[in-house]
Amino acid sequence: DSGVTQTPKHLITATGQRVTLRCSPRSGDLSVYWYQQSLDQGLQFLIQYYNGEERAKGNILERFSAQQFPDLHSELNLSSLELGDSALYFCASSPHGGGRAPRTDTQYFGPGTRLTVL
Amino acid sequence: AQSVSQHNHHVILSEAASLELGCNYSYGGTVNLFWYVQYPGQHLQLLLKYFSGDPLVKGIKGFEAEFIKSKFSFNLRKPSVQWSDTAEYFCAVTINNNAGNMLTFGGGTRLMVKP
């Protein structure tokens, strides 16, 4: 158990719908990261939040958005869902991850949310 | 932008065989290197990491990896695999800049260990 929690574990929805994935970081970690794992794209970085602010953006679609709340939990919102959005969505957290992150900053992953779009 | 290559997509070994999984990265600056393992149906777990110092790093479950800067490589090794090592293994890097701390992953290597 990494200490990172994600809900829900599984999500089945239809095309065109909107879902919200939730992540709680390890105690004391300031950064939250979202990754997407799919068969064709592998593991891809989506977005990073550090202490409530967006820190870095990767291959995140415009239909997707995220935020980090004052208690440091994060939500990933996926809208206008398409079949191709079916994937495992992982959240990770690390103690730092800011602009001058110590080189020893390490990310720990949650159990993931499996999204199936029908 | 940095990238990571894992050349072995699938590896099948018998128990007690030795393992070496290749990982190469492309980035001209300083990198931090990681190996993660994903057991069937589970999340990513950190096996080991390298930031600086001794290029031979030891991780959990008897795994080790060697950083060879001249070859841009960080290969994962285990002298004797067990059936329970069946999993997918991911090599990843982060770089030190002001653009965040995201992990760039290789494509993964699926290891199957036959009992």
Q: What is the pLDDT of residues B4-25, one digit of tens each?
A: 999 889 999 999 999 999 999 9
Q: Tell me the chain B residues in contact with residue A55 when contact means C-beta distances shorter than 8 Å.
A: 100-101
Question: Of A26, A24, A77, which is closest to residue A47 (Cα–Cα)?
Answer: A77
Q: Tell me the chain A residues in contact with residue B32 when contact means C-beta distances shorter than 8 Å.
A: 103
DSSP A26: P
Q: Is the pLDDT of residue A104 over 80?
A: no
Give the helix/strand (H/E) hosting B57.
strand B56-58
Query: Under a CB-based contact definition with an 8 Å cutoff, are residues A107 and A84 in contact?
Result: no
Distance CA(A41)–CA(B50), nearest Å, equals 26
Confidence at residue A100, expressed as pLDDT on a 0 to 100 scale: 65
Confidence at residue B98, expressed as pLDDT on a 0 to 100 scale: 66
Of B47 and B41, the structure prediction assigns the larger pLDDT to: B47
For residue B79, give how far its alpha carbon lies from the nearest alpha carbon of chain A (Å).
26
For residue A47, give how far its alpha carbon lies from the nearest alpha carbon of chain B (Å).
8
CB-based contact (8 Å) between B109 and chain A? no
Q: Is the pLDDT of residue A26 over 80?
A: yes
Contact across the interface for B101 and A112, Cβ inside 8 Å: no
Give the Cβ contact number of residue B108 at 10 Å: 21
Confidence at residue A102, expressed as pLDDT on a 0 to 100 scale: 67
Q: Tell me the chain B residues in contact with residue A106 when contact means C-beta distances shorter than 8 Å.
A: 34, 46, 49
Would you call B83 helix, strand, or coil by DSSP? helix
Q: Is the pLDDT of residue A39 over 90?
A: no
Q: Tell me the chain B residues in contact with residue A92 when contact means C-beta distances shorter than 8 Å.
A: 44, 103
Contact across the interface for A109 and B43, Cβ inside 8 Å: yes
Average pLDDT over residues A2-13: 96
For B101, the closest of A97, A110, A111 (CB atoms) is A97
Reported in sequence order, the residue ranges of chain B that DSSP labels E, i.e. its strands, are 3-5, 10-14, 19-21, 24-26, 31-38, 44-50, 56-58, 64-68, 73-78, 87-95, 104-105, 109-114
Q: Which of B3, B36, B101 to mutate to test the interface with A (most CBs of A within 10 A)?
A: B101
For B105, the closest of A42, A50, A99 (CB atoms) is A42
